Structure 1
């Protein structure tokens, strides 16, 4: 994932009327979050802000950040004894910001569901130090998560299938990143599973992002190119690319729906997101966009309402005249298009699990 860092101290300087060298004015941070205007989030927030919903983030943990007051104590499955609020790579903190950052001004980041709670479940360490996500999924279920975001991909361990099945039976919405080129050539696990919403990425023009994989298992698409979000140093990352970001945005949308319609089942939430999506590419469901690009406002409207066109057109290009930040050295920066690895157990596990795997891999996708 490509990142250009905006240091937290710049916020203080901006507040004093001083521009930090090499960074855009933080008053323009909300403009850098182009996906908010593209998805018409102002209107969406007049309908729902995600209050009362907990979103579990299975990732690298979530670091303390001034824009993330809603992060509750979770669990660290990399270093037992931790509560998940430790992030060595910054990936999980960025995903949490896209879901539920609570920016109260234009120089702070804003999430899709700012009043949702974030339950951090650390399953990814530094480098490729990973664990099975099965226990993390069970922890999320037992601690009341209504949505589980998995911006991760790779192989799959036997226990993970059981965890996914238990979450489905517990009426939890499961969302995962589809995978990123060039590392991935098709939709990866866990997104490839039937019970999981596989999310691809689009750019500012609503076109499939160059980094986003295609595949028959793709369900829906969301912004995932040149994304701005929170980082683990307390500041912001600008220029993130990947289906990880797109999946986090869809998780935020699911939280809005679960808050607005608490009696709506997980299956109905997914069907609502898919049926109101803006069709792109080949008419109908296709391997590049799935059901289309998410339209959050249309999904939130009362059943029977006419879908909006809030995501049908590209957002206007924002020009601030500020100097773009130069890439800053960072040990935890990811290469462009990288997708955080999950586990290297391989596809052979599908054979071992027989009927269960066959059940989970049967796609729900239908042509509208």
Structure 2
């Protein structure tokens, strides 16, 4: 009987290999003479801008072969290939043929490129069906797209914003800053033992919710720019004041290098300031040193330095975020993931990472977008627009449908947080350095606040599933049961959510 099944398996394997060979070894690829040379990086960007102007969106899957190859060529000739036997075949542990398919893809690339494996393969992901490779020839791109083995092929290091002269390769200016600011007394209330409670918490009935739940027993993962080593309330004094019995862990997945083969991260420490602010809003202790408290002040915290700043651009930032999502997905203690970063163009490997974490039961909150002069033409940004993500944006004080000055809105938004006052003040946070505070705004702070509220709900109901927690949050919001066209379910009433 064993021999019989073995024979069937061998025959099936030969049939599969034969079919695949027919599909992947077609070499007669004709390229129009006008498309023999790659577009310049400025020309690539112009075509993307044209897509945004006419369709209000852009996706590499709809790009022409010439545009896609040009972007790969101009981005250090690096491509990311997500492969699989179907559109949902992204998890290696659930993929029967991932080794075979990966080998066939690499064989095809080596055939068209005329190079050995060590000159083609940069990396192969441990958890996801994706590889990073070097591709120089347009024929290789066309051949890959003709197969049924790949879910997507994308440029891995094309830099949209840098091509427009907005961000330099080494820039950490976007969303970053170590500044501190004295808080206006009207923007907070002092509560025991000597913490400052931000004004926005009252707007969402968070103080009343604390009578029922404070986040105890729940772990939030924050994917951002890391956490400051100079803020002890997010370090050695994480259990300060009325916060006790909880843990904080810090990791780094970001590699600060222009070279794709570099693999050493620069550690967990925030070198931007944004990640520290987000960690503060979600979980800062109810301290006795006069600094702002976080929403879930008794929740555990895991932070990842996954990127240099909030605009997810470039090979190592994409990898850093993807690796943070898979790591948090594999961490059984993590219930909630909060990420206040993104891009206006989707990134396949980050999509795979989000889906991987989602399939592990994580409740994922992503920022809907904070406008700047170079992103005002888009609505909700990536990855907040994904169905696996809960998209959050910010609104003005006392409203649920008047966006903050810099916040994005749209049909993909799920919740809103009041984070901007008529005076212009935003949300008080514990800052980068000890004994210092600051203000932070936009959809970023709204997202971290919502993640904290989710921790309160899950702390009250530790046996609940992600779906039950999310349903309770929706039921406790302004527009339930009918979503607003641009503001989702609206503002969350934390007190109702924990009842």
Fold conserved (TM > 0.5)? yes
TM-score of the superposition, structure 1-length normalised?
0.70
1:220 to 410, 415, 418: 415
Q: Is the 8 A contact 1:222 1:250 kept in 2?
A: yes
Structure 2 stretches lacking a partner, 5+ long: 1-174, 239-246, 257-263, 421-425
Rg bigger for which structure?
2
Deviation at 1:272, TM superposition (A): 1.5
Deviation at 1:27, TM superposition (A): 9.0
Q: Measure the CA separation in 2 of the matches of 1:61 and 1:279.
A: 34
Deviation at 1:279, TM superposition (A): 2.8
* Cα deviation 1:195-239 (Å, max 9, x = unaligned): 100001012222431222121111110133211112222344433
Structure 1 stretches lacking a partner, 5+ long: 8-21, 302-368
1:131 to 318, 332, 339: 318
1:294 aligns with 2:460: no
Deviation at 1:24, TM superposition (A): 5.4
Q: Measure the CA separation in 2 of the matches of 1:204 and 1:76.
A: 36
2:208 to 43, 47, 53: 43
Deviation at 1:156, TM superposition (A): 3.0
Distance 1:260 1:23, change over 3 A: closer
Q: Secondary structure at the match of 2:318?
A: coil
1:153 to 337, 342, 367: 342
2:356 to 158, 163, 166: 166
- Which range moves more in the overlay, 225-234 or 125-134? 125-134
* Cα deviation 1:259-306 (Å, max 9, x = unaligned): 2112211122122211210239xx9312332111111111111xxxxx
Distance 1:32 1:117, change over 3 A: closer
1:177 aligns with 2:377: no
Deviation at 1:104, TM superposition (A): 2.3
* Cα deviation 1:129-188 (Å, max 9, x = unaligned): 623322110111223321000101103322222222221211100000101224242001
Runs of 4+ in 1 over 4 A off after TM superposition: 1-5, 22-32, 126-129
Q: Which has the higher contact order (CA 8 A, sep 6+)?
A: 1
Q: Measure the CA separation in 1 of the matches of 2:495 and 2:183.
A: 33
Q: Secondary structure at the match of 2:458?
A: helix
TM-score of the superposition, structure 2-length normalised?
0.52
Q: Secondary structure at the match of 2:469?
A: helix
2:251 alignment partner in structure 1: 74
For the aligned residues, what is the CA RMSD? 2.7
Deviation at 1:100, TM superposition (A): 0.3
